[in-house]
Structure formats: structure tokens, C-alpha cells
Structure 1
Amino acid sequence: MRLSQPFFQLPVLFDVARLQAEVAALPKEAWVPHPDGIPGNSAARLISVDGVEGDGMHGQMLPTRWLEAMPYARQALAGFGVVWSRSRLMQLAPGVGVPEHADINYHWHTRVRIHIPVFTRPEVRFHCDGQAVHMAAGEAWIFDNWRRHHVENAAPAERIHLVADTTGTAAFWRFACGKAPPREVWRTVQWDPAARAPLLCEGEQRPPIMPAAEVQWLLDDLRAELLPSDARAERFGALLDNFVFDWRQLCALHGISGRGRPEFIGLARAIHDAARPLAEGLVMRTNGAGALLVLEKRVLQHLVA
């Protein structure tokens, strides 16, 4: 999700000792390699599809057995009052990091990732769009993951963050991005064994066929970010307009329940083939990603479930 600046620190603090004790108590089997195979990166899944071991982003999200064993972490997440998508503990080995990238796929169009550092040192730096911060243990941060970003762990110890994805409520966004009060009056969320705030998790988000209004929204957003703004970009934009017209007609004919699926798939393949020569050299203003790659990851891969 795009933000007005690279980083926002949320005006809330967490009980570092309690978080660290819960993370340290997890067994080795809780930790799995990064789904993209990035060396030195591992994760413990806290909220996942059906609450089982997996890295999917679509389906009924539920707490895993590892989160059930971490009552304070669960209380901390529930206290935000938002609906959570995929959430994990993410660990970086000493001396390694996360390579520079931008999160351009469909999942991130409407979601932001909250970082709550658990184990960290001052040498750990998070870079986003030319700015760098150290996220201290017990703090809470969000960042604009549409911009290019990377992480460096120059410390001699593991860095572990609790990371949780959400679309956020209006109250959350006022809290996260509004004018923060002085740090000395920030609330520290203390462990409360009597707390009963529900942990809200995403349900299945994807209909069999993406509605035409969402297709229009995604493509309008893509086109607004195109560089350079020249005749080829205009032809590319006209192609996207034509695709929306035709997709809307198929939705009018078949609905979005999955009927007529081969026709929708055929239309998606046709725009991919037609866009390839026009998209050459067109990139996104914010993160420099190629227009065809963004079209694929943010739209075409998710049109038909």
C-alpha cells in the first residue's frame, strides 16, 4: 500500500521482555526457510491459511499453533482492532539481510505490514526509498512497501521481527499516520491475562472471477504510475481501457461465479500478449518495476481464481 512517506512509527510500545520470552520458547520446528529461499532468512508462521503450515495469501486466515502458544503476542495483535492477513515472525541471521525489492503483487495493493521488533540491535537498519531507520525492540512501524526497500543486519546476532499484514480500519490509519503525541506519553501494552479482545482474521477474499470494478481500479492505478508519459504509454493505456470494456461485458454475460471461465481466461491471455510489445521500457514511477511485470503480478494472475 502506498503511503505519503517511507516510514511511520506508531505511537505505542510493547513489553519487550514478554515478547522475547514467548519467541525464545518456540521450538526449532516452528522455524522454516523463507518461501523465496533467501539465504539467512527464516520465519515462524503465526497467522496462515487455515492456521496450518503454508505461505499462501488467499483463504481463511487463522492463528497457527505457534501463535496459540504466544498469548501476549496474540493480545498485542488483537489490541490493534484490525483484521489480520498472513502474519509471521521473521528472522535474519547475523550479517545477512533482505535484498532490495518492491512488493508489487496483488496482496499489497490494499495491505500494509506492521513491524514489531522483538530481538534487534542498533546495527540493524531498514532502508526504504533512500531513508534508513533502526526499529527498536518493542516499537511498532509501518513502511511504504511499494517503494524499493531492503534490510541490513550488521549485528552479530539474529534479528527477529513480528510482522503482520492488514488493510487497517479508519481508526488505525488515524492512529498510525496522524500527528503523534510526545513519546513520553505513549502507552506500553502490558500483559493482561484477563484480556479477551478477539483476534480478527481475514476470510476468503477472492471470488472465482474478479469484478469489473476492481479490474478498473487496479488498471487505473497502474496507468497513473507509468513512465515515460509518451505516445507508447497512451497506446498501452488504451489497451487497458479496451480490456476493461471487454471484461465488463463478460461479467455482465456470465457474472463472477465462475461460469464462462474459459472466455475470461482467453481474454486475460490476449491482453498479456498484446501488452508485451507496448510495455517494453515502460516502468512505474515509484519503484521502477516494469509495467508488464506489475500488470502480471497485480492483475492478470488474480483475475480468475
Structure 2
Amino acid sequence: MRLSRPFFQIPVLFDVARLQAEVAALPGEAWVAHPDRLPGNSAARLISAGGGETDAVHGQMLATRWLQSMPYLQQVLAGFGVVWSRSRLMRLAAGADVPEHADINYHWHTRVRVHIPVFTQPAVRFHCDGEAVHMAAGEAWIFDNWRRHHVENRASAERIHLVADTTGTAAFWRLACGPTPPRAQWRTLAWDPGASPELLTEDGQRSPVMPAAEAQWLIDDLCAELAITDDTAAARARAARFGKLLESFLFDWRQLCALHGVGGRGLEDFRRLAGAVREAAGPLAEGLVMRTNDASALLVLEKRVLQHLVVD
């Protein structure tokens, strides 16, 4: 999700000793390799599709057996009062990095990632769009993952963060991005052995076809970010044709939604239109990138829109 600046620290604190005790108690089998096999990166799944050992971002999100064994982490997540999507413990080995990237997938258009450091040292630095911060243990942070970002662990020990994805309630966004009170006034969520927290998780169900209003929203957002890498007459003309192509696609998608609805009828018609715009966009998108993060416009169109127009 795009934010008005790279980092926001949420004015709330957590019991570091309790966090560390619960994480340290996890068995080795809880930790799995990063989905992209990044060296030195591993994770323990806390909320996942069906509560299983998967990194999928679609489906009914449920607590895994690992989270069920961690009562304080459940209290931490429930304490935000938001609905959670995929959430994990992310471990970065000493000397390892998270390579620079931007999160352009559909999942991230409306979601932000909350970071709560559990084990860390000052030599761990989180970089985003030219700024760098150290997130201290027991703090809570969000960042603009549409911008390019990376992490460096130059410490002598591994770094472990609780990372949890949410769209956030209005109250969450007021807390996260509103005026920050003095640190002495921040709330600390203490461990409560008698608590029975209610963990809210995403249902994950989508209509088989993306509604026309959502397609319009996603493409309008993409077009507002378009930039030309080489400002020539030919490049400007291609960009104009690219915009017209997407405009025409939206007219036709809206008509198909009016004809078939979004409940699953006429799927071949929808797939045919999506395939046609995918094929036509390739040559027109040459030299087009996103202004904020330099991601390829064609890649963003594919990952944020085209792959999600029809749910198989």
C-alpha cells in the first residue's frame, strides 16, 4: 500500500521478553525456507490459508499450529483490532540481506505489512526509498512497500520480525499515521495470562470475476503512475496508445460484467478479453515504468490486474 512517506512508527510497545520467549520456544520444524529461496531468509507461518503450511495469499486465513502455541503473539495481533491476512515470523541470518525490490502484486494494493521486531540489533537496517531506520525490539512499524526497499543484517546474530498483513481499520490508520504522542505516553500491551483474544482473519473469498469498478480502480491507479524512460515522440505515442488500450479494455470489461455478472457465467468471454489485452499491451508498454519504483508497467499490469481478473 502506498503511504505518504517511507516509514511510520506506530505508537504502541510490546513485552520484548515474552515475545522472545515464545519465539525461542518454536521447534526447528516450524521454520521453512523463504518462498523465493533467498539465502539466509526463512520464516515460520503464523496465519496462512487454511492454517496450513502454505505461503498462498488467497483463501480463508487461519492461525497455524505454531501461532496456536504462542498466546502472547495472539494477544499482540488481536490487540490491533484489525483483520489479518498472511502473517509470519521472518528470520534473517547474520550477514544476510533482503534484496531490493518493490511489492507490486495485487495482494499489496490494499494491504500494509506491520513489522514487530522480536530479536534484532542496531546493525540491522531497513531501507526504503533512500531512508533507513533500525526497528527496535518490541516496537511496531509500517512502511510503503510500493517504493523500493531492502534490509541489511550487519549484526552478529539473526534478526526475527513478526510481520503481519492487514488492510487496517480507520482506527488503525489514525493510530499509525496520525499525530504521534510523546513516547512516554505510548501504550504497552502487557502479557495477560487470563486473556482469550479474538483473532480476526480474512475470509479470502472473491467473486470468480473481478467487478468492473475494481478493475477501473486498479487501472486508474496504474495509469496515474506511468512514466516514460526515454522521452521521445515515439515513446509518448506508445504511452498514449497504451492508455487508450486500457480505456477500451475497461469499456468492454464493464459490458461483459453487465451481460454475465461476476458470479461465474461467461468465463470464456472474460478470459478471451483478458488474453487480448495482455497480447496487445506488450509492444505498447516498451519503455513504460512506474514513477515511484521504476517497475515495468507491463509487469505491474500483469501482476496487479490481469492475473486476477478471473479466479480459477
Name the CA distance, whole Å, in 2 between partners of 1:267 and 1:217.
Answer: 18
Name the CA distance, whole Å, in 1 between partners of 2:208 and 2:192.
Answer: 42
**Aligned partner of 1:300: which letter?**
L
Q: What number of residue pairs does the alignment pair up?
A: 305
Q: Answer yes or no: is the 8 Å Cα contact 2:74–2:197 preserved in 1.
A: no
- Alignment partner, residue 171 of structure 1: 171
**3-state DSSP of counterpart to 2:85:** strand
**3-state DSSP of counterpart to 1:287:** coil
Alignment of 1:116-135 (within 5 A): 116-135=116-135
- Alignment partner, residue 278 of structure 2: 272
Shift of 1:205: 3.5
Identity percentage of aligned residues: 77
Shift of 1:193: 1.8
- Alignment partner, residue 241 of structure 1: 247
Name the CA distance, whole Å, in 1 between partners of 2:264 and 2:10.
Answer: 41
Name the CA distance, whole Å, in 2 between partners of 1:15 and 1:47.
Answer: 21
Name the CA distance, whole Å, in 2 between partners of 1:184 and 1:175.
Answer: 16
**Aligned partner of 1:51: which letter?**
G
Q: Answer yes or no: is the 8 Å Cα contact 2:126–2:152 preserved in 1.
A: yes
1:27 aligns with 2:27: yes
**Aligned partner of 1:226: which letter?**
L
Measured against aligned partners, the alpha-carbon deviations of 1:131-188 in whole angstroms (never above 9, x if no partner) come to: 0000000000000000000000001110000000000000000000001100111111
**Aligned partner of 1:107: which letter?**
H
**Aligned partner of 2:118: which letter?**
V
- Alignment partner, residue 159 of structure 2: 159
- Alignment partner, residue 10 of structure 2: 10
Measured against aligned partners, the alpha-carbon deviations of 1:62-117 in whole angstroms (never above 9, x if no partner) come to: 00000000000000000000000000000001100100000000000000000000
Q: TM-score, normalised by structure 2?
A: 0.96
Shift of 1:259: 1.2
Unaligned runs of 5+ in 1: none
Name the CA distance, whole Å, in 1 between partners of 2:131 and 2:216.
Answer: 33
Alignment of 1:101-140 (within 5 A): 101-140=101-140
Shift of 1:263: 1.1
- Alignment partner, residue 207 of structure 2: 207
- Alignment partner, residue 84 of structure 1: 84
**Aligned partner of 1:259: which letter?**
R
Q: Answer yes or no: is the 8 Å Cα contact 2:117–2:136 preserved in 1.
A: yes
- Alignment partner, residue 286 of structure 1: 292
**Aligned partner of 2:96: which letter?**
V
- Alignment partner, residue 309 of structure 2: 303
**3-state DSSP of counterpart to 2:86:** strand
- Alignment partner, residue 93 of structure 1: 93
Name the CA distance, whole Å, in 2 between partners of 1:140 and 1:125.
Answer: 15
**3-state DSSP of counterpart to 1:54:** coil
**Aligned partner of 1:203: which letter?**
D
Name the CA distance, whole Å, in 1 between partners of 2:306 and 2:153.
Answer: 35
Shift of 1:24: 0.3
Moved segments of 4+, more than 4 Å: none
1:257 aligns with 2:263: yes
Report which stretch shifted further, 250-259 or 124-133: 250-259
CA RMSD for the aligned pairs?
A: 0.9
Shift of 1:234: 1.9
Q: TM-score, normalised by structure 1?
A: 0.99
Name the CA distance, whole Å, in 2 between partners of 1:255 and 1:240.
Answer: 20
Unaligned runs of 5+ in 2: none
**Aligned partner of 1:23: which letter?**
V
